[in-house]
Amino acid sequence: MIAYIEPYFLDNESDASSVLTVTDAVSESLDIQGEILCGGAAADIAGKDFGGMNYVKPLAVVRPLGPEDIAGAVRAALSSDKLTVAARGNGHSINGQAMAEGGLVVDMRSTAENHFEVGFLAGGTAFVDVSGGALWENVLKRCVSEYGLAPRSWTDYLGLTVGGTLSNAGVSGQAFRYGPQTENVTELDVVTGNGDVVTCSEMENSELFFSVLGGLGQFGIITRARVLLQPAPDMVRWIRIVYTEFDEFTRDAEWLVSQKDESSFDYVEGFVFVNGDDPVNGWPTVPLHPDQYFDPTRLPQSSGSVLYCLELALHYRDSDSNSTVDKRVERLIGRLRFDEGLRFEVDLPYVDFLLRVKRSEEIAKVNGTWETPHPWLNLFVSKRDIGEFDQKVFKELVKNGVGGPMLVYPLLRSR
């Protein structure tokens, strides 16, 4: 059965009739209920990823109806010496991880609606069971609009699948409090490398559970996740404050993430930007509203080639008065040593805050930059070494910017 489709692995320069032949062969060999695409249609969907640095042609794209279809694709690869298989969420891998040259790519988005059920654990904590192929932005909207609840930990960009971020980590400005998204899941359904469909948790098949979370897709494909929820706030006070000195920036950020829940902001991130008027890398990237202006005369004479911005958010309810929110913010802001006069803030709905990068995506798609290569890199650097990292990387190697964001913010090892 597998030998029947192997002659087509390396021949993707096919005319319409041969594409139909390959499609028929793959369909018959895999015996799945979902859709199978070959040839140009498969390459259009899965020939590249968001990183934009690789282009390969898959043999076929499988759009599964459910776990059994996914298991069938995995078993086909397991039985072959040549056939490979890769799970693809929304295609946001950076270096080809969601691609399979001459192999099968499982398009998990076709399973997005397979699961959505809110429940409660024995202790009363809310959760939602969602498909591994569901987009986080849709999980957010539905949880908030239908139940007034929301997951506790996020990524900055939510046009990603649940299974995709859980296979990596899922890190954002809430991770200092709740940990990454991988720390906010209590149960998974997984298709293993043997093609078995297995439920796992901390107590059941725990080795598989902890291997799959953050396992880069190498230990199994997530088809369902049980994600912890909390009451969703109504509004967010979003704040950016600017620092000239890296030591003061890191000291304040580390102090904020080490405070107890009620004694800090609900979101803490930061970024490095160029000390200049470059619209992509410099001062214009800091203000939060078109009416706000970055005044460089507020910077001290000692400011260097790069500056630092601490990005903060405080959740609140519609019923909270402006004065109450102002007092909570000022109590925290008053402890920080940022450059006076370089503070920007706006109030916006909670969902809009979490979808803030979506607006940047829409602009980038219009001006064409969304399709350009994105050679992104994520690193965890110890507190001991971050000062030297600033000196050698931020202040030297990338002092003119990288044509995109340079995020830097502290996380707690205990989380």
Active site members: 92, 156, 269
Instruction: Decide if 248 contacts 390 (C-beta within 8 A).
Output: no
The candidate with the shortest Cα–Cα distance to 185, out of 125, 258, 234, 98, is 125
Listing DSSP states for 44-61 in one string gives HHHS--TT-S-----SEE
Which residues in 246-281 are b (16+ Cβ under 10 Å) and which e? bebbbebbbebbeeeeeebbbbbbbbbbbbeeeeeb
Place of tokens 């450059």: 339
Q: Are 351 and 144 in contact (CB under 8 A)?
A: yes
Q: How far apart are CA 156 and CA 171, in angstroms?
A: 8
Among residues 271, 291, 292, the alpha carbon closest in space to that of 281 is found at: 271
Beta strand ranges found along 275-380 (DSSP E)? 306-316, 343-349
Determine contact, residues 15/1, Cβ cutoff 8 Å.
no
Q: Which residue bears the tokens 């359904």?
A: 189
DSSP, residue by residue, 143-191: HHHHHSEEES---S---SBHHHHHTT----TTHHHH--GGGGEEEEEEE
Task: Tell me the C-alpha distance between 70 and 293, whole Å.
Answer: 51
Query: For residue 282, how many other CB atoms are within 10 A of its CB?
Result: 19
Token reading at 242: 């600017």
